[in-house]
Structure 1
Amino acid sequence: MRPLAFVDLETTGATAGEDRITEIGIVEVDPDGSVREWQQLVNPGQPIPPFIEQLTGISNAMVATAPPFSAVAAEALARLSGRLFIAHNAQFDYRFLKAEFKRLGLDFRAPVVCTVKLSRHLYPDYTRHNLDSLIERHGLNAEARHRALADAQLIHQFWDKIHASLDQDSILGALDAQQVTPSLPPELDPGIVDQLPEVAGIYLFFGEHLGREEQPLFVGRCRDLRQHILAHFVSRPSSERKAKLARAVRRIEWHEIPDNTEAQFRENALLRQLQPAYNRKPRKT
């Protein structure tokens, strides 16, 4: 068994580039089965919104004397390095930690497993896979909710439950499905894979077309930017046109837009303005 880190964060909001971490919880599991736990309040350097305070129970007073992330970064990095990063809605926690480390000039990367995706793959007959649903479905022991270490412990419990009740081939198949490496063109920075958010929005591809560089190639709208962008770079595209587009991409731009109506409006405006080479012509309205 490889070293594992079950991770959960509490934050001031949902946007890694703007919001900050207020608490870190990590459960480390070594190959010999030994377990260590770490919980740390973090001063975010900005106010905690009232609804976040109500949700997590972490108040501005509680973090007022807590250290900033810069003071605990070394310990957090030591606890995560060399381990499989396991979290529920993992890209949320992973993006926040990457953003915090990046502010300190550190490029944090780790192999990531999302237990939401793991649950969906292993239990496809169920429609809900949030942490509360897993608690009820698998009889997990929830001492607290929406506190970092308590939620990390729940993820660890879920991991142990599936390994005790399911065959290893099924689990390995579900894990392998999350570790597929996209076939990015060599000119595209591979680090972009770690940056893509799992949220709704629009995305734009730019690259070479008809001998000219930095041309708009494609505009797309979707509910999961990470999934849809990476789907363009599968090893075996379904058509030569898709393969040609994937090879031509030199830059990717995306915008997180939760509201579908706004996203559709922005998409149509960009299609008309840029007239990207690989999109169908937009319908008149």
Structure 2
Amino acid sequence: MYAILDIETTGGKYNEEGITEIAIYKFDGQEIIDQFISLINPERPIQPFVIKLTGINNEMLRNAPKFYEVAKRIIEITEDCVLVAHNAKFDYRILRTEYRRLGYDYHRKSLCTVELSKKLIPNMPSYSLGKLVKNLGIPLTDRHRASGDALATVKLFKLLLNKDIHKEIVTRSVRSNPKIQIDTKLIRIIDELPAITGVYYMHNEEGDVIYIGKSKNIKKRINQHFTNTNHKSKKIQSEVSIVTYEASGNELLALLKENEEIKKNKPKYNRALKKDIFSHALYKEKNKEGYLQLKIGKADPDKKNIITFTNLAQAKSSLEKIVEEFGLCEKLTGLHKTSGSCFNYSIKKCEGACVGLESAESYNQKVQKVIDKYSYENKNMLIIDRGREVDEKSVLLIEDGDFQGMGYFNLNFQVTNIEIIKNIITPMQNNRDTQHIIQSYLRKRKPLKILEF
């Protein structure tokens, strides 16, 4: 659990500042579950330059509560939380100073989004909150007011969690959680999980990830893990301490993230992904008459394919649908082995490429349409689909036929600047598995939008 905060102060000498405004958003990694926002009477004058910067003046704070009046609420909302702030050293120091004046020793673990951003989003021109969120397409209102800055920090932190492929942030948070008895553990874990699409992470008591999975219904899938009686499931049940998750908004992003993070983190109870997740592929070749032939073959890393398939049955079923949709010849796709015309020609669904009645030029145009639809080779495109929230969309970036990564953007942000898209995406490996996942998804489902550039 995280307490994401921002504090505005009077300015002045080091450790003599007073708080003028505080905003705290309690964040569970997915959404805000509680919040506290208040002006504070600092009982000392505000520096003139601070008044100009924040718009908060001494008159506004005359009837505001003093810090001792809100101190208990701040302790409660930050209990068992990791404090998160942009330049956390400053906000944490100010809070501890205020509590020290009351004779109370305030301690929390903390994370700084400046430091995390420098690590997870390197080479940005500036890491000040205003300039950073602008370059990431994150909306920011009420700049230099606690609520506006804290809310922007929530959105920035959510992006950083998504980019943290090695789950270092979550692991540190899990380690700080109080431990619970094993007899109530599994029931409590299931009760706290949502029935949403995403990726889930099982952690042991040390916070280490021991299993990663994806599901269209995380709550239901975890329940299956905890009710299975096979050897592996029993081992997981005995070791798991907490389950964290990331909503993906759609199944494609969940598939890609699961594939990437299993390979990156190598959890002990995930099978090592030594083999490709597909066995067959669709290839093209030109025969001596000049016709492009589509043929199913075993997946070969040295051959360029159009589409990949999990197994031979899936490959044949998909090719039959392609033949039907594009009016291709069964003979030239290997579905009907014959020395004469194919069966579809006899029922007038083939225009006679099998017996030379349809020209190679005409037939090859149909084959090219198949390639254009199912292969993104050499293409520059954005695949846009549902996001995790109603005001959000997901985006996959493909450049020159290579998958670059995935991310999310707010609907208030127009997808016109590719450089901003590159900043918000989580870079991911471009390999045969990711190509298979994307092609399979596009073949079976239609995303909201595909933009080529």
Cα distance in 1 between the residues matched to 2:101 and 2:73: 16
Determine the C-alpha separation between the residues in 1 that align with 2:84 and 2:147.
Answer: 13
Pairwise CA distance, 1:28? 0.5
Q: Closer, same or farther in 2 for the Cα pair 1:77/1:136, shift >3 Å?
A: same
Q: Is this contact kept in 2: 1:88–1:115, CA < 8 A?
A: yes
SS across alignment from 1:168: coil
Give the number of aligned pairs: 173
Instruction: Write the distance in 1 (CA, Å) between the matches of 2:118 and 2:170.
Output: 9
Off by >6 Å, runs of 4+ in structure 1: 173-176
2:144 aligned with 1:146, yes or no?
yes
1:11 CA drift (Å): 0.1
Structure 1 residue 38, shift from structure 2 partner:
1.5
3-state SS of 1:119 partner: helix
- Deviation, 1:67, is 1.1
TM-aligned CA distance change 1:97 to 1:173, over 3 Å: closer
- Which of 138, 155, 158 is residue 157 of structure 1 equivalent to? 155
Correspondence 1:60-139 to 2 at 5 A: 60-139=58-137
Tell me which residue corresponds to 1:277.
none
Q: CA deviation at 1:174?
A: 10
Alignment deviations for residues 123-170 of structure 1 (CA, whole Å, 9 cap, x no partner) = 222241110122212111112101111111011000112334x2521x
Secondary structure of the residue aligned to 2:139 is coil
2:168 aligned partner: 172
Question: What pairs with 1:1-285 in structure 2 (closer than 5 Å)?
Answer: 3-13=1-11, 15-30=13-28, 33-164=31-162, 166-169=163-166, 172=168
CA spacing shift, 1:45–1:128, aligned 2, 3 Å: same
1:165-195 per-residue CA deviation (whole Å, 9 max, x = no partner) reads x2521x517986xx9xxxxxxxxxxxxxxxx
User: Shift in Å at residue 40 of structure 1?
Assistant: 0.6
Q: Give the drift of 1:74.
A: 0.6
CA contact (8 A) 2:29 2:158 kept: no
CA pair 127-146 structure 1, distance change in 2 beyond 3 A: same
Q: Are the equivalent residues in 1 in contact too, given 2:30–2:158 (CA < 8 A)?
A: no
Distance 1:163-1:124 versus aligned 2 partners, 3 A rule = same
Contact 2:161–2:169 (CA<8 Å) still a contact in 1? Answer: no
| CA deviation vs aligned residue, 1:8-53 (integer Å, no higher than 9, x gap) | 0000116452110000100101367452222110001011121101
Residue 34 and residue 87 in structure 1: after superposition, are their counterparts in 2 closer, same or farther (change >3 A)?
A: closer
Q: Which has the larger radius of gyration?
A: 2
SS in 1 for 2:59: helix
Determine the C-alpha separation between the residues in 2 that align with 1:123 and 1:175: 19
TM-score computed with the length of structure 1 as normaliser: 0.57
Does structure 2 conserve the Cα–Cα contact (< 8 Å) formed by 1:38 and 1:149?
no
Distance 2:161 2:14 in 1: 32
What is the distance in 1 between the residues matched to 2:14 and 2:38? 19
Q: Deviations over 1:209-257 (max 9, x none)?
A: xxxxxxxxxxxxxxxxxxxxxxxxxxxxxxxxxxxxxxxxxxxxxxxxx
Whichever residue aligns with residue 135 of structure 2, its letter is R
Distance in 2 (CA, whole Å) between partners of 1:46 and 1:13 is 10
Which residue of the partner structure matches residue 186 of structure 1?
A: none
Amino acid at match of 1:172: E
Structural RMSD (CA): 2.2
| Distance (Å, rounded) in 2 between the aligned partners of 1:48 and 1:133 | 26
The residue type paired with residue 4 of structure 2 is F
- CA, structure 1 residues 129+34, in 2 after alignment: closer, same or farther (shift >3 Å)? closer
Aligned 8 A contact 1:9 1:25 in 2: yes
Letter of the 1:58 counterpart: I
Overall identity of the aligned pairs, in %: 36
Q: What is the distance in 1 between the residues matched to 2:114 and 2:171?
A: 12
TM-score by length of 2: 0.36
The question of whether the paired residues in 2 share the 8 Å contact of 1:27 and 1:36 is answered with: yes
Could you say if the C-alpha distance between residues 125 and 175 of structure 1 is closer, same or farther in structure 2, counting changes exceeding 3 Å?
farther
Partner SS for 1:35: strand
Cα 1:39/1:56, change in 2 over 3 Å: same
The answer for unaligned runs of 5 or more in structure 2 is: 176-453
Quick one: distance in 2 between partners of 1:146 and 1:46? 20
Which amino acid in structure 2 is aligned with residue 52 of structure 1?
A: V
Q: Distance in 2 between matches of 1:66 and 1:174?
A: 36
